[in-house]
Structure 1
Amino acid sequence: MLPQVAMQSAIQEIANMHGNIAGQTKSSRTRRRILQATTQLYRDIGYNKTNVVDIAHSAAMSPANIYRFFRSKKDIEETVVAELLDEVFQAAANVARAGGSAIHRLGAVFRTIAQLHEGRRVNDRKLHELVAAAARANRPMVRHYIDRIAGLVAPIIAAGQARGEIRGGNSATLARCLLGAMDDHVIVREAGDAAARPTFNEMLDFCVDALCLPVSGQDVASCSELRRASLSQR
């Protein structure tokens, strides 16, 4: 048996551990409450018109308490943007796991991303503006999002290369090239002059043709057939 002092020490350590876990859980819940309140304010009045006092009032706490969990309004703002971009990434990752050819999976990934950004632009305009501003400023969480999308796309390209569907080359480099070409649809941008830019389908067709670059007349036919079959569900 443990000596009495050692037993009491062990009991105290267990109590401290449970106390720390409970404190972390409470802290996590408070952070979540702040972020939910902030997101709703951004949605209602926009990020430029929202200040820490507004966030504190909406989250039912003092402004001083906000700063216990976030360094500044910018810190809160960047966390909200990171979560919004993570929603897009997770949706893209889900469709990336589906079956089918590499071209079909790539099309599904980029279509999912584009549809989510467009849906937010139409239905949550102020949140769209928040993410677009972060993209325009090339904030760290936007760069991290792009890196994650590139990391999602590269293995699909590599799998397509292994199956003879996609041209040779470094899959990571090809993924970056693809993201660069699809930039307007992968990264949130302001509306701008949409008529002057290729549509999503036009740009995707161009990228698929580049990835399936044939080396013989027979390959031209097979690549075109693959592209039509893979991109027919739009």
Structure 2
Amino acid sequence: MRQVESSCIRRRIVQAAIRLHREIGFRKTTVADIARGASMSPANVYRFFPSRQAIEEMVVANLLDRMSAAATLAARGDSALERLTAALRTISQLHQHRLEHDSKQHELVAAAVRENWAVARSYTDRIRELVRATIAAGQASGELRPGCARAMTCCLLEAMEGYLNPPRINTAAVRPKFDEMMDFCTGALRH
């Protein structure tokens, strides 16, 4: 029972932080603000999280975990190229949606990626492994050209960075549409 109660309190703290991040931005949000928003004292917040950074990391981890799960779910199709396209399109659309509809949360995720937080590195590793495994499977089936799957993964993700990397996503950026860039990349991967 104690663990369930602790989990509920942690969730309440995180939800208060999310509300405040959306209202005033994560940089202006203090632990005292979060405590007020969660109807508790700052000392009580510190019982569950050692710092404001730890709360922010939990917020980012939850967002990126959902993105990773959505990309993995989308990566189901007949061909490796379809799976790659679906997974990367899902990531791009989720980042773009957050930028347009929840810009302050997008700013937090972008900061986590830019500052190389552990939760951002973990997410990046999961996506890189999803792409690498899909490329390797495509190579094994003969659909994708032979070569080092790890190097091909790095090249693909580097080419698609403007669509997948939160600090680089910008509604005003002049670049090819996602489908145009993905077509170019899949053409390079095709056997």
What is the TM-score normalised by the length of structure 2?
0.93
2:22 alignment counterpart: 43
Rounded to whole Å, the distance in 2 between the matches of 1:31 and 1:148 is 25
1:139 aligned to 2:125? Answer: no
SS of the aligned residue for 1:189 comes to helix
2:188 counterpart of 1:204: no
Max Rg structure: 1
Instruction: Give TM-score, length-normalised by structure 1.
Output: 0.77
Query: CA–CA distance in 1 between the matches of 2:162 and 2:45?
Result: 35
Percent identity among equivalent residues? Answer: 52
For structure 2, the 5+ residue unaligned runs are none
How far 1:174 sits from its partner (Å)?
Answer: 1.9
Residue 193 of structure 1 deviates from its aligned partner by: 5.3
Letter matched to residue 137 of structure 2: A
Give a deviation string over 1:99-155, Cα, whole Å, max 9, x none: 211101100001000000000001101101111111221222111111000111122
The equivalent position to 2:154 in structure 1, one of 176, 189, 199, is 176
Q: Mean Cα displacement is larger for which, 121-130 or 185-194?
A: 185-194
Q: Distance in 2 between matches of 1:131 and 1:110?
A: 17
Once residues 109 and 125 of structure 1 are traced to their aligned partners in structure 2, the CA distance between those partners, rounded to angstroms, is: 22
Letter in structure 2 aligned against 1:116:
L
* Displaced runs of 4 or more, over 3 A: none
The range that moved more, 108-117 or 35-44, is: 35-44
Matched, 1:118 2:101: no
Name the amino acid aligned to 2:3: Q
- The residue aligned with 1:89 is 68
Q: Which residue of 2 aligns with 1:58?
A: 37
> Which amino acid counterpart does residue 40 of structure 2 have in structure 1?
M
Shift of 1:209: 1.4
Deviations 1:65-117 (A, max 9, x none): 00011111111111111111111111001111x22111011000010000000
* Unaligned segments of structure 1, at least 5 residues: 1-21, 215-234
Corresponding residue pairs, total:
190
Instruction: Let me know the Cα RMSD of the aligned residues.
Output: 1.5
